Amino acid sequence: MPELPEVEVTRRALAEELTGDRLQGVVIRTLKLRLPIPSDLPVLLQGRTLQEVGRRGKYLLFRLDNGWLIIHLGMTGHLRVLPASMAAGKHDHLDLLFGGGRILRFTDPRKFGTVLWSGGEPHAHPLLADMGPEPLEEGFDGEYLHALSRSRSVAVKQLIMNSSVVAGVGNIYANESLFRSRLRPSRSPHSLSREECGALAVAIREVLAESILQGSTIMNFRVAEEPLRYHPLDFRVYGRGGKPCFDCGGMLEEIRLGNRSTVFCPHCQK
């Protein structure tokens, strides 16, 4: 599943490639995604100029001069800039035609992605309205986490994966940031001290920022013809259950929390 860093790297690449370009046409091959693609999208987008590519959590926000195109990549979606002559495959559901014979193509084998239109401010859209602060922006820090965690009874890992608490922290980065901050994923949020909340907020920001930097370096900010797929090469815990901890050499433990795979070091994480 594309996580926040991958979406952010995609955003940067698309912003560089397409900002200021005029949309010359839209081809929809299926309306049936997680939510139906609006059938009037071609009318709404035709002739409009892409002003900006933004992001909120894992949603990409394409600002046109008459509204916003909102895209979520779901489990398996990706966006590529391709020559318009490139034949469409079975899972290519949407093409946006830009100048210079280029298309922005949305591909999604499992169709859990979302393509929506918002005539007004997208942050008020029902999908985005309840989202918590962006982890890399002001408003997300240890004080915020500490204040909010006093009344929560779920495990801390579930807390930070709740998008109304903080936007866009998925399973991979929840595992990694808890390891980095030395906190056990099953800890009760109200047992966390101010210092521990501070360390966790810093760890979340660091793992996301490092991953964005790494992905940006790999992609060199260009949208390749191959789908953007990268993950940091050095996960410390994610996907490493039963393997030795890089820090203490003990065996990493894997459990299920909120029905998601959770890996931690019982020695290093308290």
Residues binding Zn ion (CB under 5 A):
245, 247-248, 265, 267-268
Closer residue to Zn ion, CB minimum distance, 104 or 200: 200
Dist. CA 45–CA 190, nearest whole Å: 48
Query: What number of CA atoms fall less than 13 Å from residue 266's CA on the CB side?
Result: 9
Q: Is 3 an annotated catalytic residue? A: yes
Shortest approach of Zn ion to residue 150 CB, angstroms? 29
Shortest approach of Zn ion to residue 250 CB, angstroms? 5
Q: Is 184 an annotated catalytic residue? A: no
The contacts of residue 170 (CB under 8 Å, 6+ apart) are 1, 3, 4, 58, 161
Report the interhelical angle of 194-219 vs 171-180 (nearest 10°).
120
Active-site annotation holder among 11, 55, 58, 187: 58
Active-site annotation holder among 3, 6, 176, 196: 3
Closer residue to Zn ion, CB minimum distance, 144 or 246: 246
Active-site annotation holder among 29, 152, 182, 260: 260
Shortest approach of Zn ion to residue 184 CB, angstroms? 11
Active-site annotation holder among 2, 122, 135, 232: 2
Shortest approach of Zn ion to residue 156 CB, angstroms? 18
Q: Tell me the chain's radius of gyration from C-alpha atoms.
A: 20
Q: Is 206 an annotated catalytic residue? A: no
Q: Please tell me the total number of residues recorded for the chain in this structure.
A: 270
Dist. CA 236–CA 209, nearest whole Å: 16
Closer residue to Zn ion, CB minimum distance, 37 or 265: 265
Paired residues of 81 in beta bridges: 104
> Which sequence positions are flagged as catalytic?
2-3, 58, 260
